[in-house]
């Protein structure tokens, strides 16, 4: 590992993404790619050896991996000095908020050009938290709405009747809600269960009605009770 460089490990289960990042980072004089992995088990020995400044982490890994939030918390507990930069196709402000609270140092959506991700690597590598401006804008709006609903939700969260309402969900509605709270999009859930987008969307909306919730914001407030 070169001194004064930002030493990077990539953990992403998509080979095309890994290869694209590897090619892009080859030309960056101040960034050294130390490891390139498709699953957590492969990456752990490299992280354990130390000397890694930034982990670029795909929020949605394979079906048999930890969900994104649990993985971030797991990595933070084992490697407290490691800075995690999440790169994900999920760009929901609710997910971004949860990820940053879990200990991530930055968040870049995969809809952005690789140059933006490289900028994020440099920021995070220098100890500066980084969220792209578009996601930050949506996050600010989300947090403002969160403040407006604060008193209402405080009362609701104290009500154990919510757990009773959850019992009315069908198994398919429950699995859709679980996947959604773990950061998957409607399209990704539809592909996972081989159902149509319309069916998944309908099951999600039906579950919200049964739980007495009016929006995704309220749903994420109850995440700890559901997952």
Q: Which tokens go with 143?
A: 């947090």
pTM here?
Answer: 0.72
pLDDT score of 206 more than 60: yes
- Say whether pLDDT at 147 is over 80: no
Per-position DSSP letters for 126-138, written without gaps between them: TT--EE-HHHHHH
Q: What is residue 128's DSSP assignment?
A: -
- Work out the number of other CB atoms within 10 angstroms of the CB of residue 174: 15
- Position 76 scores a pLDDT of 94
Q: Is 116 exposed, middle or buried (0-12, 13-18, 19+ CB in 10 A)?
A: middle
Q: pLDDT for 209-222, tens place per residue?
A: 888 787 787 788 77
* pLDDT computed for residue 47 by the predictor: 95
SS (H, E, C) 8-51: EEEECCCHHHHHHHHHHHCCCCCEEEEEEECCHHHHHHHHHCCC
More confident residue, 30 or 217: 30
Query: Could you tell me where in the chain the CATH 3.40.50.2300 domains are found?
Result: 6-141
CA 7 to chain centre: 22
What is the fold of 149-222? Arc Repressor Mutant, subunit A (1.10.10)
**At 138, is the pLDDT very low, low, confident or very high (cuts 50, 70, 90)?**
confident
Q: Among residues of the chain, what percentage have pLDDT more than 70?
A: 89
Give yes or no for residue 155 having a pLDDT over 70: no
DSSP run (H or E) holding 197: helix 197-211
Segment 128-146 mean pLDDT = 85
CATH of 6-141, one of 2.60.15.10, 3.40.50.620, 3.40.50.2300, 1.10.15.40: 3.40.50.2300
Look at residue 153 and tell me whether its pLDDT is greater than 50. no
Q: Where in the chain is the domain with CATH 1.10.10.10?
A: 149-222
Residue 95, pLDDT score: 84
């Amino acid at each position: 590992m070169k001194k004064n460089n930002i030493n990077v490990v990539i953990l992403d289960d998509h080979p095309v993404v890994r290869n694209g990042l590897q090619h892009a980072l080859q030309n960056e004089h101040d960034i050294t790619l130390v490891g390139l992995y498709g699953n957590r088990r492969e990456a752990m020995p490299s992280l354990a050896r130390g000397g890694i400044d930034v982990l670029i982490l795909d929020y949605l890994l394979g079906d048999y991996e930890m969900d994104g939030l649990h993985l971030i918390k797991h990595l933070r507990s084992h490697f407290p000095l490691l800075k995690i930069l999440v790169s994900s196709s999920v760009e929901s402000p609710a997910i971004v908020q949860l990820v940053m609270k879990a200990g991530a140092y930055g968040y870049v959506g995969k809809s952005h050009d690789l140059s933006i991700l490289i900028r994020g690597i440099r920021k995070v590598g220098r100890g500066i938290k980084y969220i792209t401006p578009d996601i930050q804008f949506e996050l600010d709006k989300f947090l403002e709405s969160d403040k407006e609903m604060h008193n209402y939700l405080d009362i609701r969260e104290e009500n154990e009747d919510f757990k009773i309402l959850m019992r009315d969900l069908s198994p398919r509605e429950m699995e859709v809600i679980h996947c959604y709270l773990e950061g998957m999009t409607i399209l990704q859930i539809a592909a996972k269960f081989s159902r149509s987008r319309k069916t998944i969307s309908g099951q999600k909306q039906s579950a919200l009605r049964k739980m007495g919730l009016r929006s995704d914001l309220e749903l994420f407030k109850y995440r700890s009770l559901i997952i």
